[in-house]
Structure 1
Amino acid sequence: MDLSIVVPLFNEEESLPELCAWIRRVCAHQYSYEVILVDDGSTDDSWEVVQRLRVEDAAVKGIRFQRNYGKSAALNEGFKAAQGDVVITMDADLQDSPDEIPALYYMIMVERYDLVSGWKKKRYDNTLTKNIPSKFFNAVTRKVSKIHLHDFNCGLKAYRKKVVKSIEVYGEMHRYIPVLAKWAGFRKIGEKVVEHRARKYGITKFGWERFVNGFLDLLSITFVGKFSKRPMHFFGLWGTLFFLVGFFSALYLIIAKIFNDEVWVTNRPAFYLALTSLVIGMQLFLAGFISELVTRNAPGRNTYLIEEKTGL
C-alpha cells in the first residue's frame, strides 16, 4: 500500500464527510491508500459518521476509544494500524488541507526524507492566545532539540513507515514526534510550508494548559532520550557534584575548628549547607542505583533499533 492517512478526532461529526470526500478526490487516482479515523472517545455522533463512511468507502477504517485518552494515544494506535509505505497525519477539523498530500508523499518517497513536518506560516488563529505562545514554545523546542523546525505542533506531517513503527507516542508527546524520531536515529527531517485554513465547524479542543504540559513533556523526552539506557550517568554526575561540595565544605569547617577552638562548627551556616549537599548527593546516588535496577530489569532493556543486517 502506498499511503496511510491517520486522522485523530474528537467531536468532529460535521467535518468528517467533507474531509474524507476531499481525501478521496486527491488520492483515489494516484495511490493505493487507507484513511484511519481514530475516534478519541467522542461524545457526539462522530463514530456513527465513521461507520457510515466505512460503508460508503472501503478505504476508510475506524478505531474507537472507550473514553478520551488524548491526541498522542490516538496517533499511537493509528501508527500501529497503518500499512502504507508513507504515513501522513492530519487533523479532522479541515484546517489541514488534503491538497498537500502529493507534495508530502513526494518528499518522503523521492527526496528520501524520513519525516516532513508542516509549517503553517500564515495562521488564522487568535494572535494573543495561540500565535505568540506557539512561537515561544517552538523557539525553546528548537533550542533544546537542535531540530530546526518552525512548527513542531503542526498536525500535518508525513513519515516513512519505518519511523512510525519505531517510536511510541504517549502522554502529550505528539508535539515532539520529530524529537522522538531523532532519538530513534532518523536524521533526515524536513519541513514544508502548508496551507492553514480557518476552522469551519465546531471549536478548538485545546486550551492554555497544553503549553504547560508541552514544556513538561519536553523536559521528560529530553531526559528519557539521553539517559533511558544509562540513568546513573545523570544521577551519578549530579550526586557526585553535590557530594563533593558538601564533603569539602565539611572538611574546611573541621580544619577551621582544629586551628581555632573558639569556632563553633554547628553555629555556622556553612555547616548546614555542607550537610544538605551531602544528603542530596547521597539521595541522587540512591536514585541512580534504583533507576539502574529498574532499567536492567525492564522488558525493553536490550531492545535497540537496527538499520539492517547482512549474513544473518
Structure 2
Amino acid sequence: MTMIFGIPIQAFLGQLLVGLINGSFYAMLSLGLAIIFGLLRIINFAHGAQYMLGAFIGYLLLADLGIGYWPALVLVPLIVGLFGMAVERFALSRLYGVDQLYGLLFTFGLALVIEGVFRYYYGVSGQPYAPPPLLSGGTNLGFMFLPNYRGWVVVASLVVCFGTWALIERTRLGSYLRAATENPRLVQAFGVNVPLLLTLTYGLGSGLAGLAGILAAPVYQVSPLMGSDIIIVVFAVVVVGGMGSILGAIVTGYVLGLAEGLTKVFYPEASNIVVFVIMALVLLVRPAGLFGRDG
C-alpha cells in the first residue's frame, strides 16, 4: 500500500478532498461577505442564515413543488438575492452613514429571526436532499474513489468564485460598484443610480450565500443550524484574507479548507481550531490580513 508521511494515500487524499469541499463553501460564503463589506461597509451577520435559507428553499422546492436540483440551482440564488435586496432597500439603507455596529446588530437579529422560524417548523434535525441522478455515484481514479457530486461542487465553486471576481474587478459594472462606494455623489452626477447599485450589491452577496446553500444541501443535511455552524469559520476566513478583499476571500477560503483537511490527517483533535489558530497568527504578523490594505 502506498504511503504518504506514514499514512495510506487513500486516507490522505480523502481528507484533502474533504478539505477542498469545505474550502469551496468557505470561499463562496466569504466571497459574499467580502463583497458586502468591501462595497457597502456592512458586516453581514445574516450571511449564514441566508446560506441556510438557500438550502431550505431548494429542499422545499423539491418536497412541495417537485422542482429538482438543476432548476433550483438557478431559482434559489435568485430568490435569496431578491430577499437580500428587499432587506437592503427597506432596512439596511437606513443605516448607511451611521456606526457599522448598527448594521452588525441588525443583521445579527435578522439571522436569529430566520433561524428561529425554521427551527420552529423543522426542529434541529436535518432533512435529506439527494444529489441529482446525473451526479450520483463516483469515479474510480485508481488511487481513490471520487464522489461525482463532490467533484462537481469543487468545479462549480471555482467557476462562480473567479467569475464573480472578474465581474467586480474587470467589468464596467464592477467599476461603477467600486466607485459608488468611494464617491457616491460623483458617480450619481454621471447619471448612475447609486442606491440601485448598492441594492444589487447586497443582493449579489446574498445570492452567493443562497447558491452555496443549494450546493451544500446534498453534501450536508439541510438543517436550521447549518448557517450558525459555519458562519464563525467564514468570518475567520474573511479576516485572514483581509476584510473586503475579494481575491483574498477566495484564495484564503480554499487554503484554509485544505489546511483543515490536512490537520484531520496529522492531528485530528486540532482540526476544529486550526482555522482560528491561523487567524491569530496572521493577525499578529499582518493585522490587515494577507490581502488587505494597511490603513
What TM-score comes out, normalization by structure 2 length?
0.24
Which structure shows the higher helix fraction?
2
Larger-Rg structure = 1
Question: Relative contact order, CA 8 A, sep 6+: which one is greater?
Answer: 2
Task: Identify the structure with the greater strand proportion.
Answer: 1
Give the alignment's TM-score, normalised by structure 1: 0.23
